[in-house]
């Protein structure tokens, strides 16, 4: 990881537009109106930004204690993906931010998240060398209701900085899945397996999956499995937030 100071300076810059005059943008972390219309977050939140640092699970990137190589989930059932990372811990502040982003019309937060994915994930991207960025798809019914796919906006923002193409036609969510919260790991996988389809040709490709949050990893596991089965050479993931086993 790079020096946090340089990165937060870059996050504070952003880019402005005349639309800011009509729709003042808000800080994605404290939700106050940004005084500097070019900034992606406010100076206070920039100073208090805590991307995950220190010991991480070698596979999924969840924080672990120094002596551990893998987290509890990856020890019990390692996902089909090669490796993945989340930038921020999915704590109360981030939960609230993501909720505003997805359900309360704060689409603009994708710019901060996408930039953070790039700035804090670029060392990892240099190692993984993905050919293509693929957002986790949303079922059409959910897409219609929400108006946008939160993962797709993140993928597009990341692509702008990383210079890697986005492919939104490789995966499809053909069946709506019920809430996963009450299901155990096996139930989640079963529920998801039939929901996603590989509709493009991932043959020989190094794929980077993008989503807003990684919790149990069932979605990433199921998607990686399906992509590898269809000939993808490697599957990685990057998410804005990641849960913790601790």
Cβ at position 71, least distance to Zn ion in Å: 3
Q: Is 60 in the site for Zn ion (CB under 5 A)?
A: yes
Q: Is 52 in the site for Zn ion (CB under 5 A)?
A: no
Cβ at position 46, least distance to Zn ion in Å: 8
Cβ at position 62, least distance to Zn ion in Å: 5
Structure tokens at 32: 């106050």
Q: Is 94 in the site for Zn ion (CB under 5 A)?
A: no
Supply the DSSP symbol for 239: E
Q: Is 234 in the site for Zn ion (CB under 5 A)?
A: no
Q: Is 59 in the site for Zn ion (CB under 5 A)?
A: yes
Which residue, 42 or 155, is less far from Zn ion as judged by CB?
42
Cβ at position 42, least distance to Zn ion in Å: 3
Residues 6+ apart with CB under 8 A from 208: 125, 128, 130, 132, 133, 134, 164, 236, 237, 238
Residue tagged 């972390």 (tokens): 29
The residue among 41, 74, 76, 72 whose CA lies nearest residue 59 is: 74
CA distance 145 to 180: 19
Q: Is 30 in the site for Zn ion (CB under 5 A)?
A: yes
Q: How many residues form the binding site for Zn ion (CB under 5 A)?
A: 11
Residue 166's alpha-carbon distances to 127, 158, 183, 227, in angstroms, are: 18, 9, 31, 16
Q: Which of residues 67-86 bind Zn ion (CB under 5 A)?
A: 71, 74
Residues that bind Zn ion (CB under 5 A): 27, 29-30, 42, 45, 57, 59-60, 62, 71, 74
């Amino acid at each position: 990881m790079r020096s946090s100071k340089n990165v937060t300076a870059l996050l504070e810059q952003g880019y402005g537009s005349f639309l800011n005059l009509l729709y003042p943008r808000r800080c994605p972390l404290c939700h106050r109106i940004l005084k500097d219309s070019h900034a992606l977050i406010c100076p206070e939140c920039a100073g208090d930004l805590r991307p995950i640092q220190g010991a991480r699970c070698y596979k999924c990137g969840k924080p672990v204690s120094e002596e551990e190589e893998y987290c509890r989930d990856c020890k019990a059932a390692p996902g089909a993906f090669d490796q993945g990372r989340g930038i921020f811990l999915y704590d109360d502040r981030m939960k609230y931010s993501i909720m505003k982003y997805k359900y309360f019309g704060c689409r603009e937060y994708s710019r901060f998240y996408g930039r953070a994915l790039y700035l804090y994930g670029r060392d990892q991207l240099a190692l993984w060398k993905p050919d293509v960025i693929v957002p986790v798809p949303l079922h059409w019914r959910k897409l219609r209701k929400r108006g946008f796919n939160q993962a797709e906006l993140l993928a597009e923002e990341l692509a702008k900085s990383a210079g890697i193409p986005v492919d939104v036609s490789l995966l499809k969510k053909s069946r709506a899945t019920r809430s996963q919260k009450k299901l155990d790991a096996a139930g989640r996988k079963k529920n998801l397996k039939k929901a996603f389809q590989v509709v493009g040709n991932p043959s020989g490709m190094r794929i980077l999956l993008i989503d807003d949050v990684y919790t149990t990893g069932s979605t990433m596991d199921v998607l990686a499995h399906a992509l590898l089965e269809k000939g993808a050479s490697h599957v990685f993931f990057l998410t804005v937030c990641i849960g913790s086993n601790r």
